[in-house]
Each structure stands twice: as structure tokens, then as C-alpha cells.
Amino acid sequence: MALSRYTLIGLVLGLFVCLAMAIFGFACKTAFPMIVAVWLVLGAGGIFAFFLVNPAVRDISDVQAIVPLPIAGWIEKYPGTGESHEVLPGIGRIRSTVCQWLSASGHQIVIASGDSKDGKSILASALAISLADSGLRVALVDVNFRNPSLAKALSIPDSPGLCDHLSAPVTVSAGSIQHLVKENLKFIPTGTEPVSPDMLEGETFKKLMRNLKDSHDVIIYDCSAASECPKSLALLTSDVCLLAVVRIKHTYVQSLKQLAAQLCQRDMAAGGLVFFGADEFALGAGGC
């Protein structure tokens, strides 16, 4: 079972305390066994205390109590460093859910999360590749101005990109920021020119998105985490669908509440939760 960040911190502190106790007891050469026992108990108690105060979500029901959306799919394992995201186990069922949405509503998908490192960008790239491989024309747009990572993951230059076009639409054309990743898949990186998230509600961005909708079957937006940007869901409207990513034992409860607060202020065509670090058994009756 994967350990959360706070549990790992407790474990390290507990081991450090036990080591310090052992050195102290050996130096004093008095009541060494009793000192060892006492400090082992204290170390174990510290680990347990850190587990109890862990602010990360541990259970599916905890998540749905905060963000009351149906389950769109799950990924049993969070990819490790260096592992390919192109063929992500579980992406097929998520793609099936998304295709149902696309046939019934708008062709835009916002991918959001409460915290960074929850798997949002991993899901965005894997879903975009999967949809492109199925024959759909896909545009993947990185609007994560706080912590962009898709360009590096896809081995695409981060400039020219969206920020560059929004700052100077005449100099940096809309066509120049669309990078071909593979057949049926184009990617727009964030770019390097600093911009305000408010520019996503400007006319230049809206014109770009209208052109993308005319030339693509689906647009996927990788947004900033709710804990990093109070306007991470600015693109969510009544004709846009949402995938909210949650990583078990990693996503903070408070960050989920921030995401839920933003959701209360937005409309959406459809929405669902995607869990990293959960399997079908763990989801139980809540499965999709």
C-alpha cells in the first residue's frame, strides 16, 4: 500500500528518534533496553499521529462527499519517473466515457485537479493520444500557467506557445503555436511570455478556440491546479465537459474543497472523477 507524504515524514522522524535514542542509551550505558523500548513506542506513536493528521484523501467516499461527481474512470498505478504515459492502463474506459460525452454535448474537455502532481497532465496527454489513435482530430492545449509540464513530456518546444500568441497575436500567429505531435494530434504549449489567467477570457483566446473547434473534433485543456490558481476552471462553461483528477493518499482535502468551491461558480455539460491509485475493488459500488 502506498504511503502518503505525511506518513513517510512520520516514518523518517520516528526512525531518526530511535537512532538518537540508541546513541544516547549506548553513551550512558544505563537502562539501555528500557530506553530502547520507550523510544520505539514514541517513534511508532509519532508515525501513527502523522497518519491521523494526514490531510490527503484516503477514501473514494471522502472525495465524492466534497466533489459530488460520478466516477469517469480510474488508473490503478501512478506512473513512475521515466515510464511512458502514451499507453496508460485504464485510459480505454476513460476514453469511452469521454466519447459518450462528446456525442451528447460540446467537444471540449477541461482536465482539472485540486493539487499539482495529482496526474492531471499525465491524464491529459494519455487521453489526447488515445483519442487521436481512435481517429479523432485532437487539439491539446496547455493552459497550466502556474506549473506547465506537457511540453517536456511530449518533447515539444515550449515556445512559441499560447502566452506568446495572447501577448502579441500579430507577431506570433495562431498557426505557429500549433505543434504536430503525431497524426491527428496537435499541441499548444503555454509559451514563455508571462500572461494573466484573465487573458483566457479575452477575445484573442476566444477567437483561437473558435478556430480550433472548426478544425478539430475535440479540444482538451490541461488547467492549473485549484490550489495554485483561483481561476483554474475559467474555461468551464455549459458546453464544456470536466474530468477532475484525484490521486489517492496525495490530493489534499483542502485542495479538493478549493476545487469544489470553483465548481459551484461554473456550469458544465458533463463531469466525472478520475482516480489515480485506485482499482475497481476500491471503487466498489461507485464504479462507472
CATH number at residue 203: 3.40.50.300
Residue 18 structural domain: 5-52
Whether residues 69 and 48 share a domain: the answer is no
DSSP string, 62-92: HHHHHS---EEEEESSPPPTT--SSS-TTHH
State the pTM of this model: 0.79
Judgement on whether residues 255 and 282 belong to the same structural domain of the protein: yes
Structural domains counted in the chain: 2
Residue 219: φ, ψ to 5°: -120, 130
Residue-wise pLDDT tens digits, 108-140: 999 999 998 899 999 999 999 999 999 999 999
275 and 157 within one domain: yes
Q: What's the pLDDT tens digit per position in 45-69? A: 665 555 555 578 888 888 999 999 9
205 and 199 in contact (C-beta within 8 Å)? yes
Residues 65 and 46 in one domain: no
Q: Residue 38 has which C-alpha cell?
A: 520507550
Same-domain pairing of 33 and 81: no
Q: Is 81 exposed, middle or buried (0-12, 13-18, 19+ CB in 10 A)?
A: exposed
Clarify whether residues 68 and 27 are in a common domain.
no
Q: Is 158 in the same domain as 16?
A: no
Query: Does the structure show a pLDDT above 60 at 288?
Result: no
Least confident of 22-26, 143-147, 148-152, 211-215: 22-26
The pLDDT tens digits for 149-189 are: 999 999 999 989 999 999 999 899 999 999 999 999 999 99
Tell me the pLDDT tens digit for each residue of 224-241: 999 888 888 889 888 899
User: Do 143 and 30 fall into the same domain?
Assistant: no
Do both 27 and 147 map to the same domain? Answer: no
Q: Based on the fold, state whether residues 47 and 64 are members of the same structural domain.
A: no
pLDDT above 60 (res 262): yes
Q: Which long-range contacts (CB under 8 A, 24 or more apart) does 84-88 make?
A: 85/122, 85/125, 85/126, 85/153, 86/125, 86/126, 86/129, 87/126, 88/122, 88/123, 88/126, 88/130
Whether 238 and 132 share a structural domain: yes
Element (H, E) at 38: helix 32-52
Q: How far apart are CA 222 and CA 242, in angstroms?
A: 11
Quote the cell numbers at residue 207: 477567437
For residues 89 and 22, membership in a common domain is answered with no
pLDDT, greater one: 43 or 137: 137
| Total residues belonging to the chain | 288
